[in-house]
């Protein structure tokens, strides 16, 4: 998964602008994702990219950069 693909997924599902998503952007504060959004994002990533993200791992991902790094390693 590329950075652009992940940004696109977030924009499509949550209405964010690509320009607003930076590596240091926090998922909660900067991108405005609440706990339900986080579950939806996790499920969307799993479905689109065929990977599994355990809930306890996703809970530790705080920034877009954290998420990109985790997903890229899968």
SS3 36: helix
Nearest to 70 by CA among 49, 50, 53: 53
Question: Active-site residue numbers?
Answer: 34
d(CA 53, CA 19) in angstroms, rounded, equals: 26
């Amino acid at each position: 998964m590329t950075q652009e693909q992940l940004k696109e997924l977030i924009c499509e599902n949550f209405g964010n602008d690509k320009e607003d998503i930076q590596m240091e952007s926090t998922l909660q504060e900067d991108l405005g994702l609440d706990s339900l959004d986080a579950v939806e994002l996790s499920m969307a990533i799993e479905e689109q990219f065929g990977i599994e993200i355990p809930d306890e791992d996703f809970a530790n991902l705080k920034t877009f950069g954290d998420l990109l790094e985790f997903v890229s390693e899968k």
